[in-house]
Structure 1
Amino acid sequence: MTECDVLIVGGGPAGATLARALHQHGLHVHVLDKATWPRDKVCAGWVTPAVVSELELDLDDYRRDNLLQPVHGFRVSLMGGREIEASYSGDAISYGIRRCEFDHYLLRRSGATVHEGEAVKSVERDGAAYVVNGEYRCRLLVGAGGHFCPVARHVFAARPGSTEVAVRAQEIEFAMSPEQARACPVQADVPELFFCTDLKGYGWVVRKGDYLNIGLGREDNHRLSEHVQAFCDFLREAGKIPAELPGRFQGHAYLLYPHAQRELVRDGALLIGDAAGLAYPQSGEGIRPAIESALIAAEVIQACNGDYTADALAAYARRLQQHLGTRGQTTFTDRLPEWLVRFLGQRLLGMRWFIRHMVMNRWFLHRQTPPLRLTGATGGD
C-alpha cells in the first residue's frame, strides 16, 4: 500500500497549487487524477496579473513552451446590442492561456508524486486515515476534482445535479486554418463577451493566437444546447466565427460561491476549488478562487502539524469565508422583481462607464482585490 501525508484527488490549478505548497513545506504529497496529462481541458482561459503573482509564475519560462496571449481590452455587449470596448493602456490586464498547457505546467512543477489515468473507485475510513482504491493511504484527503469531485461525493455526500443550482456551460476550442485565422475579425488581445438578453448567462469568443474558443454558460441551464446553437448562429451572421466548426462542444458545470452549500471540511478531509463551489458569481471564473483556496488550505494544513480533525481544519472554512464573503447573503438586486433586474441590466450594459468599471474592473478582472498574501510560509522557490 502507498502511504502519504496528503492525497489530492484532482490535478487542476487548485490541486497543483496545494501540492506545490505542501511539497515545499516538506510533506509527502501524492496527486491522483483520472486523466492522463496533458489533459484535454476546454476553457475560455485567461488569468489576471493577480493570479500570475499568487502562483509565482515566471512568464518568460512559461511562454517558452506554451501559448501566452497578452490581453489589453475586452469588447462587451448585450447579445445583438451595441458592442462597447474597454481598452487598457500599458501592461497586459490578463493573459489568454490554453488550459491543457496551463494545468500541465502547474502540475509538472508541483514536485508531488502524480498518479495519472486512475479514477477513484472507493474511499474508506481506516482509523485516522483514508484509503482510496484500496491502494493509497493518507492522513489527509483533499478533493480538488471539480464539480463532480469523487471526494465531495464519497466523503461529503455532495449530490451534483440534484438540489445544487449549477452553472452549466458548453464550449469548443480549436486551431484555425490559415484561411480562417486571416478572416477572423476577433482580436487576439481583445476577447469578446455577449450577455444573454435575460441576463442568466453570457457567451464569449476568445482568440489565443491562432486558436479560437467559443462558449456559453447559463445558471438557468434549461435547453442549454438551443441557447448555444442560437449564439453560434448569431456569431456566424456577424462574421465572427467560421461557418463550420470542427468537433463537438464540450460541457462542464460549476457552482457559484454565494449559492453553493457544500461542506468544506470533515475529519481528515477538505475541499478546494470547484469541488468546494467557489466560482465568482458575476463572471463564473473559477481559476483565481481555486488557487486562493489552495493557498489558504496550504497555510492551515501546515499550521495543523498533523492534526487533521475537523476542528483543526475548520480554520480553512473560516479563512475562506473571510476572504470570499459569507455564503447565502442576499443583495439589493435579489429583492427586485426579475423584470426590473432585466430592464436595468439591459440599460446598464449599454453604458461605457458601467462596462469598464463594473463589468470588467470589478466582476471579471477583480482589480479591486489585490493578490492574496498569506501570513505564514507556504514555501518558495
Structure 2
Amino acid sequence: MSPRRVLALAQLANSIGDGAYLVTSALYFARIIGLTPTQIGFGLTLGWAVGALAGIPIGRLADRHGPRGVAVLLAVTTATAVASFVLVRSFAVFVLVACLYGTAQTGLSAVRQALLAGLIEPAKPTEVRAVLQATLNGGLAVGAALGGLALHLDTREAYLTLFLLDAAGFLAAALMLLRLPAVPAVPSRRRPAVLRDRPYALVTLINTVMLFYMPLLSLVVPLWIAQRTSAPTWLVSVLLVINTAGVLLFQVRVARRVQGLPDASRSVRHAGLVMLAACMVFALSATGSSAWLAAAVLLIAMALQVLGEMLQAAGAWEISFALAPDDKHGEYQGFFGTSVALARMLGPVVLTTVVMGWGAAGWLVIGAGFLVAGLAMAPAVRWAERSRTRTDTSAQPASPE
C-alpha cells in the first residue's frame, strides 16, 4: 500500500472520532462532568497554549529520531488523553487532560507534515495534503452525524461511547502509521534554527491571522445566527454541511493550481479578499426580519467562506513546505503548526468580542484583518526566500583555488 493511501486511511480513522468529539465534547464537559462554561473555556485554552509551546520541541524530536515513531507515539498519547476524559471528575484533572490532549494533537499534526515531506516526492506534498484534508472533512462529517445521534439520546453512555470511539480511532491510526516506511533522522542542533528564522516566524504569524476562520465557523457564526439574525438556529448544521462538503469536493482541485511559492502567495492573497467578502455578507444577514432572506444571505456568506478557507489552506501548505530546510521539516512544521493552536486559543476571545460586541461593524473589522493578512503574505514569503538563499549560499564550501 502506498504511503499516500496509508496516510489517508490513518487520517480517516481518527477524524471520524474527532468529528464526534467536536460535536459532543462541550455538552459532555458541562452536563456529565459538571464543569461551568468558564472552566471549560479556561481548560481548553490552556491546553492549546501548552500545545503551541510544545510544537517546536516535538518537531525537533521528530527530526532527531525520525517522524514515523514520534507520530505513532503521539497518536497513542492522543488516544490516551481522549479516553482519560471519560475518567475526569474534577476541574483540576480536566485541565491536566486538556493540556495532554492539546499537546498530543498539535504535535501529531506537525509530525504528520514532516512524514509527508519525507515520504512524498517534492512536487506533490501540497496536492497530497489536499487529499488528506478532503479525507479529514469526510471523516468529520461521519463523526458529526454520530455525534448528533448521541446528542439526541443525551445519555452518559452515549457520550462515553463516542469518546471511546475517538480513542479507538487514534489507536487505529497509530497502527496504520507503523506500516509507513521509516524516514531517516537528521542530526539535531543545540538551538532551534526556526527561532532565528524571522521571515518564517512572520509567515507563521500571518497564517495564524488567516486561521481565525476556524473559531469564526465553530463559535461566532452559531452565536450570530442565534442572537443577531432571524434565521432558524438549525441553519447552523446546514452551514457546517456546506463547509464540509465544499472542502471534500473541491479542496484537491484548488490545491492543484498551486505550483510553487508565487502561486501560493497569490492563493493566500485571494483568500484574504474572499474572506473579506464573506464577512461583509455575514454582516448583511442581520438586516431585515425575513427568516428566509437571512438564511439565503448566510448561505452565500458560507459559500464564500469555504472558498476562502480552501484558497488559504492550499497556499499555506505550499509555503510551509517550500520554505522549510530539507533537514528540519519536523522543527519547522512544528513551529508552523503552532498557528493552529494559537488561532484556536486567541480566536474565540477576539472574534466574539469584536463581532458580537460591535455587530456589523465588527464583521468589517475582522474582514479587513483577513484582507491585510492576505496581502502581507507575498512580501513576507519573498523576504523568506531571500533569507534562505543567503543562508544556503553562505553554507556552501568555498571552491578550491
TM superposition score normalised by structure 1: 0.28
Structure in which a larger fraction of residues adopt strand:
1
- Between Structure 1 and Structure 2, the one with more helix by share is 2
Higher relative contact order (CA 8 A, sep 6+): 2
